[in-house]
Amino acid sequence: MAERYSSFTPGGTAWFLQRITAAFLVVTLAFHFFQLHFVTHAADVTFAGTQLRMENVGYFLTMVLFLIAAAFHGVNGVYNALVNQGLDGTQKKVVLAVLVIAGVALVGQGIYVAIAMAGWS
């Protein structure tokens, strides 16, 4: 029988955060989908409406946390999938650095846009 391999250490921090962000993403994605497809129909989503929603501190924080959780979950998942495929040594370090830089840039740009949309810039 083949041995199961995972780069995640069961019970480790990365393993735990991957599961926590997954659960958080399920909830916030459902909220986001409900808000923008049932409360505000997709055809009625406007720039002004987005600005109005982002001015609400609760909505703003929810969307920023959604962004951070999604970025972490995605970067961590891609990195561990590559490690599971045999990535190691210098390539592993380079890939980790590129993914971390891309993740931080994504979160930074997303927060910048959220602040601008909220009219706080």
CA 8 – CA 29 distance, rounded (Å):
25
| 92, part of any domain | yes
Query: Taking a C-beta distance cutoff of 8 angstroms, is the pair 52, 116 a contact?
Result: no
3-state secondary structure at position 85: coil
| 46, part of any domain | yes
- For residue 38, the enclosing domain spans 13-118
Over its length of 121 residues, how does the chain's per-residue pLDDT go in tens digits? 556 667 777 778 988 999 999 999 999 999 999 998 889 888 888 999 999 999 999 999 999 999 999 999 999 999 999 999 999 999 999 999 999 999 999 999 999 999 999 999 7
| 3, part of any domain | no
| 65, part of any domain | yes
**CB under 8 Å to 111, separation ≥6 — which residues?**
64, 67
| 5, part of any domain | no
CA proximity to 63, closest of 39, 99, 29: 29
Quickly list DSSP for 25-46: HHHHHHHHHHIIIIIS-GGG--
What is the total count of domains within the chain?
1
User: At 83, which CATH number?
Assistant: 1.20.1300
| 4, part of any domain | no
Task: Please report which helix (H) or strand (E) contains residue 105, including its range.
Answer: helix 89-118
| 7, part of any domain | no
